[in-house]
Amino acid sequence: MSNIEEEILTKLSNRIIGYLKDDLSMQDIENSFTIEDVSKIDYKDITTFIALNGAMKGTVGMSVPSSLALQMVEGFIFGDYDKSELKDMSIENVAETLNITLGNILTDLSVVQNGSSVDISTPYTMHNSTTITKKSDGIMFVATLTYNDQQILLSYFR
């Protein structure tokens, strides 16, 4: 694993953990996480991808089980919503969580601090679990975070 893949997944993991603890009061999120070089990723129920362009190319992803996505959205909404509205909001929340946290860490990346720029795309969200495999000449890494026996997958591949 090169330094940039480890750097982006480490910074993103730490930012996500902080957000879940500090902003959503999900104190049971574990502070430790693993980053692994993998040949495939089995994504969870809700997965959002954001493409990177410029000095750093690739795709960053965040994947969570639908039950955890629902817990995340319930952490910041007020009022009464029906189950369908909560489901829609939980899907949108996963995309916004990745978009905002990724945007926040970009200026902390060494490639940006050294004067280069990294652009991010609009988030793309899938609503079903899926598996992707690494291209023969590609790279693929996944960081696994744990909250109450549920996994949050953060990935980087190109």
Nearest to 47 by CA among 148, 137, 144, 126: 126
Report the alpha-carbon distance of residue 102 to residue 69 in Å, rounded: 18
Please tell me the pTM assigned to this model: 0.92
> Which band of pLDDT confidence, cut at 50, 70 and 90, is reported for residue 75?
confident
Instruction: Please give the pLDDT value at position 147.
Output: 95
Across the range 116-125, mean pLDDT stands at 94
pLDDT recorded at residue 17 = 96
pLDDT, residue 86, reads: 84
Q: Predicted confidence band at 2 (pLDDT cuts at 50, 70, 90)? A: low
Residue 7's pLDDT is what? 92
Quick check: 60 pLDDT over 70? yes
Task: Please give the CATH number for the structural domain made up of 3-157.
Answer: 3.40.1550.10
Average pLDDT rounded to a whole number, residues 91-97: 92
H helix or E strand, kind and range, residue 27? none
Q: What is the 3-state secondary structure (H, E, C) of 113-153?
A: HCCCCEEECCCEEECCCCEEECCCCCCEEEEEEEECCEEEE
Rounded to an integer, the average pLDDT of 94-99 is: 94
Q: Compute the average pLDDT of residues 112-134.
A: 91
